[in-house]
Amino acid sequence: MQLLARLLNELPSYKVIDVRIGLHWSAVTVDTGERIQCGLAATLRTGNEHPSEQDIPEAGSLNSLNSDGLASWVLGDHPVQASVGLAALNASLPPQPHTWQDVNAEDVIARHGAGRKVALVGHFPFVDRLKKRVGRLYILEQQPRPGDYPAEAAQELIPQADVVAITGMTLSNHTLEGLLALCHPDSLVILLGPSTPLSPILFDFGIDWLSGAVVTKVEPVLQAVSQAANFRQLHKLGVKLVNIARPGIENL
């Protein structure tokens, strides 16, 4: 997991203030000394594969950890712990508003995918609209819905796609680097969703666009995460969609 290791190695260490593990989203809040920052990541489900284990052995005392220690959980195999680790990683990244672009992920995919083949890893809410805006859309899902392709089809479909858009959840389930290795060298690669780390380090691994999210109103978002809010609800309460393009990508 070279990509995650690189992100973690360059991550600062902050005091953890709060950790929320909701039904759909996990959130970690840190104090940088200058501001309070909150990071999100999708909560991966454990199902019944850990029936006798504690999901979080340190439950109740996570705010005694430093952010870099908590972020290292993203390397582990336990789904919930990896989700918390990714949220801590996202909370610790320095904001770079001068690089943010006011465009949403759907429009980025549609603009680059017009008349071309697009592979979308993850069934996002905009797929029905996107199908009408690109040449051909292949949706890959671990739990495919009607019209989706199973995750195993990635080896066939991703290499032939002109545009590849991958959910940021692949960082916490440790499938991202394998998917990136399948991308054609000339394809445009987008990492999207609120789990996406907004770090230019990802550009060194073949990613061209980062479409993520920044929490702008911490308290209402934390409360909603604790009460099983979905992302649409979090967005309305205080989350800004943020996009960063790899330098020079506008000319591609």
Whether 41 and 102 share a structural domain: no
**Judgement on whether residues 43 and 108 belong to the same structural domain of the protein:** no
Tokens at 153, concatenated: 């089809």
Instruction: Look at residue 10 and tell me if it is in a domain.
Output: yes
pLDDT at 252: 37
Q: Indicate whether 87 and 102 sit together in one domain.
A: no
Could you tell me the CATH number of the domain that includes residue 62?
A: 3.30.390.100
pLDDT at 103: 86
Provide the pLDDT for residue 251: 43
Which portions of the chain are predicted below pLDDT 50?
Answer: 251-252
How much of the chain is helix, strand and coil, in % rounded to 5? 40, 25, 35
Domain count of the fold of the chain: 2
Q: Cα(91)–Cα(18) distance, rounded to whole angstroms?
A: 11
Q: Please give the pLDDT value at position 57.
A: 79
Give the residue from 71, 95, 119 where a domain finishes. 95
β-pair type (117-121, 163-167): parallel
Parent domain of 173: 98-214+240-251
- Residue 109 sits in a domain whose CATH number is 3.40.50.11590
- pLDDT given for residue 172 in this prediction: 96
User: 115 and 27 in one domain?
Assistant: no
At residue 180, the pLDDT reads 98
Model pLDDT for residues 73-123, shown as the tens digit of each residue: 999 999 999 999 999 999 999 999 999 998 889 999 999 999 999 999 999
Select from 45, 63, 95 the last residue of a domain.
Answer: 95
Task: Tell whether 103 and 91 lie within a shared domain.
Answer: no
Burial of 85 (0-12, 13-18, 19+ CB in 10 A): buried
Residues 145 and 247 in one domain: yes
Say if residue 31 is in the same domain as residue 133: no
Q: Quick check: is 223 in a domain?
A: no
Residue 60: the pLDDT is 83
Question: Does 39 fall in a domain?
Answer: yes
Q: Is residue 225 part of a domain?
A: no
Give the pLDDT score at 176. 97
Res 85: pLDDT: 97
